[in-house]
Amino acid sequence: MSMLYRFYKKSEIFRMLIIALLGVVLGFITYELIYYLNPLSPRATLSWTLAFLIGIWRQHALHRRFTFLNQSPYFESLIKAYIADIGVLVMSTLLNWWLSEILDLSHRLVWFICLIVASMASFVCLKGYVFKVKRD
């Protein structure tokens, strides 16, 4: 029995947590690369925004393939992911700006706080809208 097959046999919650952890690692690497290369100000907030937009695409693909096993058309669910996460993006970007620019917190601490807040909001969007199973 392959490792991937055993992974699919695990509960959806377990798969979601594993893919979320993978997303955190990949998201932090993405953010750090963007932050390092970003010459524009406010640096932390702009880096968060770009990394978040990239993360929507990445996490959508990972959750679609490994968590929710969704069979709807790919671009339909991707568009729904971007629509659902626009509110999360706006809210977390404003939070990022306030924490980094007004409170002058470390950009990594701000990234982590925004990650927690955005993750909770995105979970509701993912399960309830983007990958919602249609009942006949």
How does pLDDT run across 45-62, given as a tens digit for each residue? 999 999 999 999 999 899
In this predicted structure, what is the pLDDT of residue 96? 98
CA dist 97 and 133 (Å) reads 36
Which pLDDT score, from 0 to 100, does residue 1 have? 66
- The predicted pLDDT at position 127 comes to 66
User: Structure pTM?
Assistant: 0.86
As given in the structure block, the two tokens for residue 52 are 């978040």
In the predicted model, residues of the chain with pLDDT beneath 70 are 1, 70, 127-136
